[in-house]
Chains A and B, each alone.
Chain A
């Protein structure tokens, strides 16, 4: 039970960074931390007591494997997270060239 609480604490750390930081790069890093907490939660769901890693070898007869489906989901989700982080960083670099600052309180052109 305590491992799920630790995942939630990691999510809250990322959320705190997203809300209170002013630098654009720190906002992107906080979004990454929030994502990793969900990946850890997904892998922990598939755990069965006494299970081994789901790889077929010839040594053990009739073993109990842990659930491999959440592990496949997390592999795909890591690549998706990479793509969104790359997109955010590209826009952040272009924003720096236009506004000459990384501070999010200066970038307020669109209102209403």
Chain B
């Protein structure tokens, strides 16, 4: 059993509780220790992605009794390794950015403590192998994010945080209720063991009710239409590093990851659930893009475009599930799921970069309104160049990485004979190009000359933005077959092979 696996939860949790004690003695402790800890976690996660084999870790050493797993399991397979890499890399770059951004707020130590707690919670959700452990770590990360959204206590932030909390609380009830219903039917909480018991069950309406409740609860966390009402307020009123973490990592690690894990590895594939997931993804894609055209606040526009891109990801997974449930060719499903996983990685990188750029604009000019900004490209060259790179990447222009991932999803939709979905995906991509061109022109190349004396942002902020734009161009290599086999194919095969997850856990 690899001893590296529980370290992903222990290290951020211990840091989050050391920071308030030592932070009362010196002011510089929190600012230096958090990026160092996240850099160490980056190295661990990349070494796990390239080097190790899939395995599970039994906490406390409780061996299975009669081949039934008891106790808490931490499971590491291809999909978890990919999400751990995303969380660690984006977390390190955002915490480096916030060294200079958060110096404008009071009580900085609390920010870094809550940030480490959020990272520990997300790592716990991704690594856990049974349902209730996943629920507890989900609650840890979500409560830390409620406090982070309300960090600068102005009127807008408090109202946005209250709306976010009420809807997030309702989502947690629905998740706990569906865990109770699943325990009632199967008398066990381990994900691999539930998949074993559900193979011999006939599909009753009770099971369908549980599946719909799970889609609703985790759909509220992942902000799929029609459960998106909290996202524009929360992501636009939060401080910018928090917006980048929320929109780039949190709604994927606790929303999309759990839906995919439960519906591909735990429940038996059915065609109806695939249809529900695909239609929700299509609705998110279209409505998110249409609502983003008319916005005047730059962070609200980016928040609505997040809803649209998450729709793309859910659409890819839904197409894969429908093809597998009908018994179609497996290569089409592999293509769809690989495209969705690639788009998850890409979306974290370029949406994080866009939010960090919007934060840099707000740091120097103290406004977020597009009608007042303009002509910033000559005074802030690094910010405008990286923001233009991210905008071209999200609209799907080669050679940036967004083009390849959207192309793979559209090709998979065409090969599975869903011509209408492919056409809608292309149309939404053109609409995305339209409003991002409007965003770039209004902010950087307009004719307003209000902010002539805005200087460039400090080094810590521009370093993160430059590294992210290099990643934007560099991640296009994931489309080359030899690199794709190393990184994406283990993740895809762990979702499609029905027995692979089960053998990982019960073997021990």
Contacts and interface: CB of A to CB of B under 8 A. Distances in A.
- Physical contact A–B (CB less than 8 Å): yes
A77 interface: yes
B173 A109 contact: no
Contacts of B136: 76, 80
B124 to A, nearest CB: 14
Interface in B130-172: 132, 136, 139, 143, 146-147, 150, 153-156, 158-162, 165-166, 169-170, 172
B173 A38 contact: yes
Contact of A91 (B154, B165, B172, B297): B165
A-B pairs, top 10 by smallest CB distance, nearest first, are: A80-B139, A110-B233, A42-B180, A45-B184, A95-B158, A98-B155, A91-B162, A107-B159, A31-B169, A38-B177
Interface string A54-93: 0000000000000001100100110010011001100110
Nearest to A77: B176
A35 B143 contact: no
B173 A110 contact: no
B172 A98 contact: no
A84 B166 contact: no
Interface residues of A, number: 30
A84 B138 CA distance: 13
B438 to A, nearest CB: 16
B183 interface: yes
A110 B162 contact: no
A112 interface: yes
Contact of A110 (B159, B176, B180, B295): B159
B237 interface: yes
A91 B150 contact: yes
Interface string A92-105: 10110011000000
A84 B169 contact: yes
Given A45-B180, A70-B183, A110 B158 contact: no
Contacts of B176: 38, 42, 77
**Which of A70, A76, A91, A107 has the largest count of B CB atoms less than 10 A from its CB?**
A91
Most buried by A among B147, B156, B173, B295: B173
Given A38-B173, A87-B165, A88-B165, 6 more contacts: A31-B169, A38-B177, A76-B136, A91-B165, A98-B154, A112-B297
Contacts of B237: 110
B140 to A, nearest CB: 9
A27 B146 CA distance: 17
B152 to A, nearest CB: 12
A63 B317 CA distance: 49
B347 interface: no
A83 B143 CA distance: 8
Given A38-B173, A45-B180, A76-B136, A109 B156 contact: yes
A51 B170 CA distance: 33
A84 B165 contact: yes
Contact of A95 (B132, B143, B159, B232): B159
B418 to A, nearest CB: 33
Contacts of B189: 69
B347 to A, nearest CB: 23
Contacts of B162: 24, 88, 91-92, 95, 107
B31 interface: no
A84 to B, nearest CB: 6
5 contacts: A18-B166, A34-B170, A77-B176, A87-B147, A112-B295
Nearest to A28: B166
Nearest to B297: A112
Contacts of A34: 170, 173
Contacts of B297: 112
Contacts of B147: 87
Contacts of B172: 80, 84
A73 B261 CA distance: 22
A85 B177 CA distance: 18
B185 to A, nearest CB: 10
Interface in A15-45: 18, 24, 27, 31, 34-35, 38, 41-42, 45
A94 B153 contact: yes
A75 to B, nearest CB: 12
B292 to A, nearest CB: 11
B406 interface: no
Nearest to B233: A110
Nearest to A98: B155
Contacts of A110: 156, 159-160, 233, 236-237
B276 to A, nearest CB: 24
A45 B185 CA distance: 10
B300 interface: yes
A88 B169 CA distance: 10
B429 to A, nearest CB: 24
Given A35-B173, A38-B177, A84-B165, A109 B159 contact: yes
A1 B488 CA distance: 49
A72 to B, nearest CB: 9
A67 B153 CA distance: 46
B166 A41 contact: no
A45 B189 CA distance: 14
A10 B166 CA distance: 19
B173 A91 contact: no
Contact of A41 (B156, B158, B180, B295): B180
A5 to B, nearest CB: 15
A56 to B, nearest CB: 18
B369 to A, nearest CB: 12
A109 B154 CA distance: 11
